[in-house]
Amino acid sequence: MRFVRQLDDDEVCVLETMRRTAVGQVSQRAHMVLLSNRHYCIAEIARVFDASENTVRQWIERYERDGVDCLDDRPRSGRPPKVSAAVQAAIHEDVLKPPSELGHAFAIWTAARLCVHVAVRYGARVCTSTVYSILRGLGFRHNRPRNAAKRAYDPQAKAKMDAVTEVLSSPVAGNHVIYKDESDIHLLPTLRSAWMPQGKQLRVSTPGANQKKSVFGALDIRIGAFIHRMFDRKRATEFIEFLAYMVAQYPTGKIHIILDNFSTHKARSVQARLASHPRVKVYFLPCYATAEPCREGVAAHEGSGYCQQAVWFNGRARRRRQRVFRAAQPFQGSDIGRLIGLRYLLKPT
């Protein structure tokens, strides 16, 4: 009768461990060898495991020839991947490009959009989970992007700066040179991440739902006067209304307004209204420059703490806001030079 060769204590210990801890058929194979070592015949072992005698004999012979490692399952190739290595390399290049360069109408890649893109461009039909696996394998992570200033330079920067320099150095009496800007102010502050007990999210008491106001401000750099208006929004309509307010504040002389390249400032309705005011002329700062006009200058001079708190919406705080903007000492020429320098305004980001 055929039995396995005589096993020593170490071999029996390894086989017993494999029988108890291994999964599926690997455990059965180790058990077959142990039963053969206890002089169970091949036919009896076959009946115990409901297997053929040839299968039992094959595993006993393989164990005697190759040892305990041969009882493990051999590596399987598995199903071939739906997306080949060449297509994965192409996906890597596509994800690094803006979707608009590939003819798409959206701005960012998502798993669903990549599924459609891969199916149309490369003929591979995959699901979103497969796309996730491919992207993780290619070293991508799903994370929120971060805002960054556009690093470029306006080709008309010199011409714009020459115009601004000319109006700033003009000695004509009665002309007004004004920096104009706008800003949003929220009732509720932004909530930042904080440490808290797991499962117990912190609650921050608020006076109600969030509200937003838009503040339009203008700073006359020659006399130090500051005017402002508050609106619910900052569209071209509100900008036109603020322009009319500035014209009313300066009934005589020409008004030279220096401002940034916000799209509201260049709307068609704004251009049409400016054409009807021959005393008003606007000067745009160069694009992509670190333009910090009247808003930042006023905050630095009068205290920026009020500008970041939720004190703009109730009665007492509204009066406090009026004191911030009206009760301060007028700006002097030297202050304006320190707050708003031309080199600082045109420093590329």
Residues 92 and 165 in one domain: no
Residues 182 and 318 in one domain: yes
* 143 domain-assigned: no
Task: Render each residue's pLDDT in the chain as its tens digit; 349 residues.
Answer: 789 888 999 999 999 999 999 988 999 999 999 999 999 999 999 999 999 999 999 999 999 999 998 998 888 777 788 888 999 999 999 999 988 899 998 888 888 999 999 999 999 999 999 999 999 899 888 877 776 666 667 788 888 888 888 888 877 767 899 999 998 888 887 777 766 677 777 787 887 888 889 999 999 988 888 899 999 999 999 999 999 999 999 998 899 999 988 899 999 999 999 998 889 999 998 886 554 444 434 443 433 333 333 333 444 445 554 554 454 444 443 343 333 333 333 333 3
Residues 25 and 129 in one domain: no
Strands (E), 99-167: none
Q: Is 123 left (phi over 0), alpha (psi -120 to 50) or beta?
A: left
What's residue 189's pLDDT? 79
Residues 248 and 174 in one domain: yes
Q: Which spans in 147-223 are helix H?
A: 157-168
Degrees, nearest 5: CA angle 119-120-124: 25
How many angstroms separate the Cα of 13 from the Cα of each of 7, 18, 36, 84? 10, 9, 15, 45
Residues 299 and 335 in one domain: yes
Q: What angle do the packed helices 25-37 and 42-49 form, to 10 degrees?
A: 150
* 263 domain-assigned: yes
* 55 domain-assigned: yes
What's residue 107's pLDDT? 83
Residues 28 and 115 in one domain: no
**What is the pairing mode between strands 280-284 and 255-259?**
parallel
What's residue 195's pLDDT? 64
Residues 273 and 222 in one domain: yes
Of 219, 234, 231, 237, the closest CA to residue 298 belongs to 219
Number of domains within the chain? 3
What's residue 218's pLDDT? 92
Give pTM, 2 decimals: 0.46
* 61 domain-assigned: yes
Residues 217 and 246 in one domain: yes
How does DSSP classify residue 289? B
Last residue of a domain, one of 41, 71, 101: 71
* 109 domain-assigned: yes
What's residue 327's pLDDT? 47
* 204 domain-assigned: no
* 201 domain-assigned: no
How many angstroms separate the Cα of 251 from the Cα of each of 15, 229, 255? 102, 18, 10
Domain range enclosing 258: 157-187+212-345
The partner residues of 185 in beta bridges, in order of sequence, read 213
- Give the Cβ contact number of residue 270 at 10 Å: 18
Token pair recorded at residue 223: 């006399």
Question: What is the rounded CA–CA span in Å between residue 255 and residue 167?
Answer: 10
What's residue 190's pLDDT? 77
Residues 287 and 167 in one domain: yes
Question: What is the rounded CA–CA span in Å between residue 254 and residue 220?
Answer: 12
Residues 220 and 325 in one domain: yes
Residues 17 and 115 in one domain: no
What's CA 131's distance to the chain center, in Å? 20
CATH number at residue 303: 3.30.420.10
Residues 229 and 303 in one domain: yes
What's residue 206's pLDDT? 80
* 96 domain-assigned: yes
Longest dimension (CA), the chain: 123
